[in-house]
Amino acid sequence: MRYGIDQASGLRQILRQPPPEVLAVLPCGASAMRWLAMQAHQRAVLGVRILAFDEWMITGSFSDCVGAVPTFDLLQAALGHVSLVSCRAEALPELAVVSTARLAREMCHDRLLLQRCAAQLEHFKSQSDEWLIIARPCELAGLSAFALAAPRLLLVLEATDQAFAQGYSTLKELAEGADTLAVGVALAGPQAPAARQRVSSFQKRVHQSLNVTLHGVASVGEAIGLSVGSNEPLAYAERLLLRARQVRVAEAR
């Protein structure tokens, strides 16, 4: 009898637990990726349970930087080939990584796959306080539905022309159709006056050309704390389903 009571109590705690905060992060430059990994590590050490969905498949990815490279992609779990557990790698007890590099490219083309992906997200909800979507630059193939569905996006820039160009092209895509509610920008690397001035000029250009307001932040925590107005209208899984359908329709045109 006591066992049943304990089970019911645990279930009530899970149901009361708020959903994870979701932040899409676009690291532009190698130092930006290292900055992000350091930020995630620091938050995990403080006890924040973080699950990172890593869309990168190359050396120097977020997974590489935190020393936790999953054996399988979440696509393989969605197809039923492997278990969800085998797609997850732990860097710390509070910091884990799931590879979504293949799933991010495939899920919009298959409705059943998309539904399975949404179900997998439900499984991960009770295990995390924050989800970080480690997105790819949009010029590669467009931002993924994972990134477009996030209510907040953080652009992490290193002080190079290429990084700023990647950041601008991403924000242009957001301005042309996404409903991201808050966008932050952070500078990776030395905070020299010239670099800070460059970010300030970038913010003004983005606002004037794209009508997108960039909020300067110094950490992932500040980006997650950005206001999204009167709460998010949809849960992340619902936003993901909507964004994936929109991506599919756009590609069919």
The Cα 99–Cα 212 span in angstroms is 30
Query: What does the mean pLDDT of the chain come to?
Result: 85
Q: How confident is the model at residue 69 (pLDDT cuts 50, 70, 90)?
A: very high
Q: Which domains does the chain have, with CATH numbers?
A: 16-252 (3.40.50.300)
Least-confidence region, from 21-30, 71-80, 122-131, 244-253? 244-253
Percent of residues, the chain, with pLDDT higher than 70 = 85
Q: Would you tell me how many other CB atoms lie within 10 Å of the CB of residue 204?
A: 11
Which of 144, 217, 132 has the alpha carbon at shortest distance from 174? 144
DSSP 53: E
Least-confidence region, from 5-14, 50-59, 91-100? 5-14
Mean pLDDT of 77-84: 92
Least-confidence region, from 92-96, 155-159, 168-172? 168-172
Distances (CA, A) of 5 to 15, 139, 140, 164, 219: 15, 53, 52, 56, 42
| pLDDT of 173 | 80
Mean pLDDT of 222-243: 79
Least-confidence region, from 52-66, 154-168, 188-202, 221-235? 221-235
| pLDDT of 59 | 85
Taking only the tens place, the pLDDT of each residue in 16-46 is 567 899 999 999 999 999 999 999 999 999 9
Q: How confident is the model at residue 156 (pLDDT cuts 50, 70, 90)?
A: very high
* Beta carbons within 8 Å of 117's beta carbon, 6+ residues apart: 74, 78, 103, 107, 240
Q: Would you tell me how many other CB atoms lie within 10 Å of the CB of residue 199?
A: 20
Taking only the tens place, the pLDDT of each residue in 213-224 is 999 999 999 999
